[in-house]
Structure 1
């Protein structure tokens, strides 16, 4: 999360490093929520099996002597898998689910305006806070998330994360690993490092403010302001 130069190299060399990972939703019994969702999905799968039964029909057509319970089981399993995939990737974002379970959809692209506030050796001349800009991309499913921040000199990827509802607003907390470009290593002396960031999103979900701090390779801290790219 530091200052920048040479962005196209980063796009090609590090794009494959981003991998979505599991994250926590605090103040929720996620197992109970999954039980509710699983019950609905199972009922929908049973309904699908009884009315459509595509696998059952195909198996009975080509193998009429096969135990009829096997294709029905396959029908239910396939229906469950498809319906869960739909929920995990799409349906959880709808208004009802988000209001009922206090989910927050923070996925998308964000513009970042940030300021390094310390320590003194990393500030601008005369000890003034040093501004920098970046872009953040957040991939989010119900079970997984991935946060990628990219400047023109380095990029970082989330390693772990948690999301919490604070009076109707989303609070994202995540740790990350940062990798500078080869040019920035050579000319600016930047080193790989680890850090932590907290971002509190606005009521309308179109902006966020927060702070970050780095360690284990670069000791800096500062503030961040995000604006969603529509």
Structure 2
């Protein structure tokens, strides 16, 4: 995974609060162990350091707490949770041969652009994210990302990626870089990521992307 930027970054404030909480925690533990040491001497010297307390708290917040309701309500974290498995398709301007096995079930042969079945695997913490997209023909991994929540109606995830085609694909499917811009929406209870992508020089393809979060 790699770090991502966001327009609602409260990381400095949160780290400061975690530091204060860590200090109160070690003071409380120190007092508790001092009281117990009189009756249970083996507990003497068991106070943890501020550094250890801060590391544990910050790790817990980054992995789990950041996406809880209390973090949303307090404003400690506003970044949407994109993590999980997503299934869908890419509607592509690529004009080369696409194997039948790679096409999405909703593909229309008479359409101008073909729908290629695809899946997203997203790992995300409070500070880092990794986006892996796979199709029958190729795979791509994100190299950088930005999460925006303030402008527009829907939270968005924009990321840059490097794509590597499969060994048995045609020569026109060369390795390339690209950019994807996805919006997080809701279709009833279903989470949806949809948007568009475009590739860099050498491919110059573009298209639409649509994914639904797997339950």
Q: TM range, normalised to the smaller chain? A: 0.7 to 0.9
Change (3 A) 1:39 1:205: farther
User: Which structure has the highest helix share of the two?
Assistant: 1
What is the root-mean-square deviation of aligned Cα atoms in Å? 3.1
Aligned to 1:34: 15
Aligned to 2:124: 140
Shift of 1:205: 7.0
3-state DSSP of counterpart to 2:203:
coil
Shift of 1:41: 3.9
Taking the TM superposition and a 5 Å limit, the aligned residue runs for 1:37-52 are: 37-51=18-32
Change (3 A) 1:38 1:200: farther
Shift of 1:61: 5.2
What 5-or-longer segments of structure 2 have no aligned partner? 99-108
Aligned to 1:178: 163
Taking the TM superposition and a 5 Å limit, the aligned residue runs for 1:180-199 are: 180-184=165-169, 187-199=170-182
- What are the Cα deviations for residues 85-126 of structure 1, in whole angstroms up to 9, with x where unaligned? 1111111111111233223111100002220146xx459888
Aligned to 1:13: none
Shift of 1:43: 2.9
CA distance in 1, matches of 2:148, 2:128: 14
Taking the TM superposition and a 5 Å limit, the aligned residue runs for 1:55-70 are: none
Aligned to 1:163: 147
TM-score normalized by the length of structure 2? 0.77
What 5-or-longer segments of structure 1 have no aligned partner? 1-19
Confirm or deny that 1:99 pairs with 2:73.
yes
3-state DSSP of counterpart to 2:177:
strand
Aligned to 1:218: 203
Return 30-39 or 209-218, whichever deviates more: 30-39
Change (3 A) 1:86 1:177: same
CA distance in 2, matches of 1:126, 1:168: 33
CA distance in 2, matches of 1:85, 1:41: 12
Question: Which of the pair has the greater relative contact order for Cα pairs under 8 Å at 6+ separation?
Answer: 1
Confirm or deny that 1:80 pairs with 2:54.
yes
Aligned to 1:207: 192
Change (3 A) 1:180 1:97: same
Aligned to 1:113: 89
CA distance in 2, matches of 1:169, 1:48: 44
TM-score normalized by the length of structure 1? 0.73
Q: Is the 8 A contact 2:195 2:208 kept in 1?
A: yes
How many residue pairs get matched? Answer: 196
